[in-house]
């Protein structure tokens, strides 16, 4: 005598549930890896922009110091002397409001 195996019949709803569970098991890890890769790329771009900002800040500070050096009174007098100008106190006029 041969044993007859009973085959379990699955309803359409059960098949849908199993298919959905299998789909989620496959899609979840893929989506997690994709989101982590995207986040890493964004963090890389943020760090690159921070480095650009720091470099530009150094350039701005350097240019501000250069401006202050060039605007100093001693530098102005030095440039005036090289251009043949002189400081004459008698030519200075003071204007006041009355």
pLDDT for residue 8 is more than 80? no
pLDDT for residue 76 is more than 90? no
Task: Please give the pLDDT value at position 55.
Answer: 98
pLDDT higher at 42 or 8: 42
Q: DSSP alpha helices (H): ranges in 1-98?
A: 12-70, 73-82
Question: Global pTM?
Answer: 0.57
Task: Please give the pLDDT value at position 52.
Answer: 98
For residues 48 and 54, give the distance between their C-alpha atoms in angstroms, rounded to a whole number: 10
Convert the pLDDT of each residue in 16-55 to its tens digit: 999 999 999 999 999 999 999 999 999 999 999 999 999 9
The rounded mean pLDDT for the chain is: 90
């Amino acid at each position: 005598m041969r044993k007859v195996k009973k085959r379990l019949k699955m309803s359409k709803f059960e098949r849908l549930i199993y298919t959905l569970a299998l789909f989620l098991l496959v899609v979840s890890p893929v989506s997690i890896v994709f989101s982590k890769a995207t986040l890493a790329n964004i963090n890389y771009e943020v760090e690159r922009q921070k480095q650009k900002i720091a470099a530009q800040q150094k350039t701005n500070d350097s240019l501000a110091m250069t401006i202050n050096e060039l605007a100093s009174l001693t530098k102005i007098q030095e440039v005036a002397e090289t251009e043949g100008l002189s400081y004459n106190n008698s030519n200075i006029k003071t204007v006041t409001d009355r």
